[in-house]
Chains A and B, each alone.
Chain A
Amino acid sequence: MFKTKLIATVLAGALYAAGASAAWSPEKPVEFVVTSGAGGGTDIFTRTIQSIIVKNKLMNVPIVVVNKGGGAGSEGYIHGASEQDNPHRVTFGTNNEYLLPLVAKMGYAAEGFTPVAALALDEFLIWVNAKAPYADAKSFIDAAKKGDGLRMGGSQSKDTDQTLVSIISEATGAKFTYIPFKSGGEAAIQLAGAHIDANVNNPNENIGQFKANMVRPLCVFSTKRMAPGPKISKDMAWSDIPTCKESGIPVDNYQMPRTIWLPSGVAPEVLAFYTDVMHKVQETPEWKAYIERTSQTGTFLSGDELRKYITADTARAYGVFKREGWLAK
């Protein structure tokens, strides 16, 4: 009985593989590849999704999470794309999937993946030490225009942080010396210890120091202010932070999508299956709690909408990389 059913399914799969979508579901444990080290933003993103899928039984097979964060995440992408038709390997990352290959020869091509979904947009803010003399973003930028400029720390080299610093310099004429650290967490501590003048960390990377009134946000790179909520530091809630645009920095919007990928050789119904799972994930209260706790913006992009987003994001970064001379030869 079971066998005939199986054969029927396989046959149906073979017959309809090209056209109509027969429902697909995983037959063996699914591997979630994390393109960051343990404890990084992508790691928490992936493990939160894993915990939601397990708790709500959204998949009927076990999930194995593996961290492959070497080479700024390229280790994970190389692994994720190594078997082009493997439907049991899902890769989790950010916009580095399509930006990393632009700046260095990485051993994988951005086209080796097909995007499943983007589930969250992480915000970027300008942070300074709580004792710094800058009252707002404008006075900070003015200070950075004088002399040698200011020391700006960030996570990794030629990644989202350094790109944003370059965009700010280009837009305002401010001068920054960018110092790359291993992670946003390290940049947060360096700022709390006043060893650097500023960083452009995500909310979640600086929240510990923000709560303890050790660092202070000046503005957020978003078209609108962040969601209202309780006070985080002694006198500020997330929604009290002005947008950078209203503070006089002509940069509208700068966000980092948290993305999910499949190897580009998988069948459309595999893509449909994972898209559906992710859609269910972001509807759960646990997901909403994660978004709120990490002060990200919840979203759900998939299909053509996501492709359009990726094209626009790549084009913008390409311009910066070209100006800075970072493009891989």
Chain B
Amino acid sequence: MDNFSNLMDGFAIAFSMFHLALMAAGVLLGILVGVLPGLGAPNGVSLLLPLTFTMDPVSAIILLTSMYWGALFGGSTTSILFNIPGEPSSVATTFDGYPMAQQGHATHALTLAFMSAGTGAMFGVVVITVLSGWVTEFALKFSSPEYFAVFLLTFASFIGMGSGSAFKAIVSMMLGFAFATVGMDGISGNMRLTFGFPDLVKGISFLVAVIGLFGIGELLQTMEEGLRFDGIHARVRIRDVLKAIASMPGHWLTLLRSAIIGAWMGITPGGPTAASFMSYGLAKRFSRRKEHFGKGEPAGVVAPETADHSAGTCAILPMLALGVPGSATAAVMMGGLMIWGLTPGPMLFIERPDFVWGTIASMYLGNVMAVVLVLATVPMFAAILRIPFSIIGPMIVVVCFIGAYSISGSRLDLWLAVPFGILGYTFKKLGYPIAPMVLAMVLGDKAEDALRQSMIMSKGSLGIFWTNSTLSATIMVLAMLLLFWPGVSLIIKRLRKPAVAATA
């Protein structure tokens, strides 16, 4: 077990008072950045980057990764408490986390989220430790057709996920794709749907849409319902935290499935967002309590959180071993690596094992520390909900708009957040799901790029998805199965019904 002895050396490097202090500072700063919408992990890490110029690379990466863990946790907090996801990857956490908070179970939801996030991250680090050599080879097998197949699988796992009408989900998703096309088209280099606004050249920011759709849309609805906010009655007790921790083993199947999905998506690299959505979709499909999802089902918090963190952790590996960042934050850290004088790539493992394994060891320690620190903040955050809505409501609006503005300092973004808020409200009133639209906005242009690159490669033949490799063909079959599952299950039901009627 060569990796194991390397890891032990890594622990020897990472385990010092200075590094532990850096971890604690990083995690706390990260929680702070994660809680403020619009700031987010990538910005937080870029702000800290100049501080690391004078540090040695191991200390520097420990500070940055710890901040990353903290920010991921902070992002989940706002998703649950205010329905405002701080990161694309914590959108899926709002589906059940926010209803739980509304019903007065904020403490339970937060604790579950943090514990599953910690479990997911741990699973991710173990995967990295065990598979570090093999993962590089696997990731190299991925080209545009395989990427497209993975994205299609994610989209498919979300269509007709159960409760709502599959048709409404498709309408919502198509609108999302339309929003994703705004800005520069990566394949032709032309501008699309910018209507001469210079601010639209960069596209519609996902966070602006989310702040509008979730934050403002939700507030409009709450106001209509007469300022009723059930969370107020919630009392915060340490016992609730312990009770939530004790309920964790009951979710073992969801945890395991989501951790595996996360690891797979982190390595490939479909990324944490695709992982959390897919994991939520599958958790719902395989659950016996399908109808409870979206109304405050604990498993609906466990699944996306586990997958998100498992993927986020595994994404560090392709970054180190291949030089491909799996997430926006990983991209900032990669820039940091180069400034510290390290070259990410296959040789990093051979040239600087002290750095690589020091980093991996620090991920074990950093995650344990992050979970402990963040659990300590649960009572504090849950108490925020006891503030009357007439006070917290306007504050959320202000924070939403500050968040929308701070993303790129563009005034147009503020004006965009308002129609998105109205759109979100209308969607809720008419029973259209918002999630497919958000998913399509996040992954839409990546999926489009992958599709069009594949089409250039195959000179326009769709056959490339089946013939390019067994890998892409397998994923395509899975995607098709998931996509047509509602139809297939309907046919099976129809076939069964007459049979039942005949016997009756």
**Interfacial residues, chain A to chain B (CB-CB below 8 A):** 37-40, 43-44, 47-48, 50-51, 54-55, 63, 65, 67-68, 70-72, 74-75, 78-79, 103-108, 148, 151, 156-159, 177-182, 185-186, 188-190, 192-193, 195, 204, 207-209, 211-212, 214, 289, 293-294, 326
Q: Is the CB of B186 within 8 A of A157?
A: yes
A70 to chain B: closest residue by CB: B202
Residues in B neighbouring A74, C-beta threshold 8 A:
184, 201-202
In the bound complex, CA of A52 to CA of B141 (Å)? 39
What is the distance, in angstroms, from B477's C-beta to the closest C-beta of chain A?
21
Q: Which of A39, A54, A158 contacts B53 (CB 8 A)?
A: A54
The reply to whether the CB of B250 lies closer than 8 angstroms to some CB of chain A is no
In the bound complex, CA of A279 to CA of B424 (Å)? 53
Given known pairs A48-B339, A74-B184, A192-B140, the reply for A179 and B457 (CB within 8 Å) is yes
Q: Is the CB of A107 within 8 A of B201?
A: yes
Q: Is the CB of A159 within 8 A of B189?
A: yes
What is the distance, in angstroms, from B475's C-beta to the closest C-beta of chain A?
16
In the bound complex, CA of A294 to CA of B318 (Å)? 21
Apart from A190-B143, A195-B144, A212-B346, what 9 extra A-B contacts exist at CB < 8 Å?
Answer: A43-B335, A55-B53, A70-B203, A104-B184, A157-B186, A178-B456, A179-B144, A185-B324, A208-B348
B184 to chain A: closest residue by CB: A71
In the bound complex, CA of A192 to CA of B322 (Å)? 10
Q: Which of B332, B345, B457, B459 contacts A212 (CB 8 A)?
A: B345
In the bound complex, CA of A138 to CA of B191 (Å)? 38
The reply to whether the CB of B328 lies closer than 8 angstroms to some CB of chain A is yes
Q: Choose among B184, B344, B346 the residue with the greatest number of A CB atoms under 10 Å from its CB.
A: B184
The reply to whether the CB of B453 lies closer than 8 angstroms to some CB of chain A is yes
In the bound complex, CA of A108 to CA of B141 (Å)? 40
Residues in A neighbouring B139, C-beta threshold 8 A:
189
Given known pairs A43-B335, A208-B346, the reply for A103 and B189 (CB within 8 Å) is yes
Q: Is the CB of B42 within 8 A of A38?
A: yes
Given known pairs A38-B328, A70-B202, A71-B201, the reply for A179 and B453 (CB within 8 Å) is yes
| Tier of interface size on chain B | 35 or more
In the bound complex, CA of A61 to CA of B137 (Å)? 47
B468 to chain A: closest residue by CB: A195
In the bound complex, CA of A209 to CA of B190 (Å)? 31
Interface string of B311-327 (1 = CB under 8 A from A): 00000000000111100
Residues in B neighbouring A103, C-beta threshold 8 A:
189
**Interfacial residues, chain B to chain A (CB-CB below 8 A):** 42, 46, 49-50, 53-54, 139-144, 183-191, 196-199, 201-203, 322-325, 328, 331-335, 338-339, 341, 343-348, 408-409, 449, 453, 456-457, 459
What is the distance, in angstroms, from B349's C-beta to the closest C-beta of chain A?
10
In the bound complex, CA of A185 to CA of B322 (Å)? 9
What is the distance, in angstroms, from B234's C-beta to the closest C-beta of chain A?
39
In the bound complex, CA of A24 to CA of B50 (Å)? 26
Q: Which of A55, A67, A104, A192 contacts B189 (CB 8 A)?
A: A104
Residues in A neighbouring B49, C-beta threshold 8 A:
47
Q: Is the CB of A38 within 8 A of B457?
A: no
Q: Which of A44, A47, A148, A208 contacts B323 (CB 8 A)?
A: A208
Q: Which 4 A-B pairs have the closest CB atoms?
A: A208-B345, A70-B202, A107-B198, A195-B143
Q: Is the CB of B201 within 8 A of A70?
A: yes
Q: Is the CB of A157 within 8 A of B187?
A: yes
In the bound complex, CA of A77 to CA of B410 (Å)? 14
A205 to chain B: closest residue by CB: B323
What is the distance, in angstroms, from B411's C-beta to the closest C-beta of chain A?
11
Q: Is the CB of B344 within 8 A of A75?
A: no
Q: Which of B201, B322, B331, B453 contacts A106 (CB 8 A)?
A: B201
Q: Is the CB of A180 within 8 A of B140?
A: no
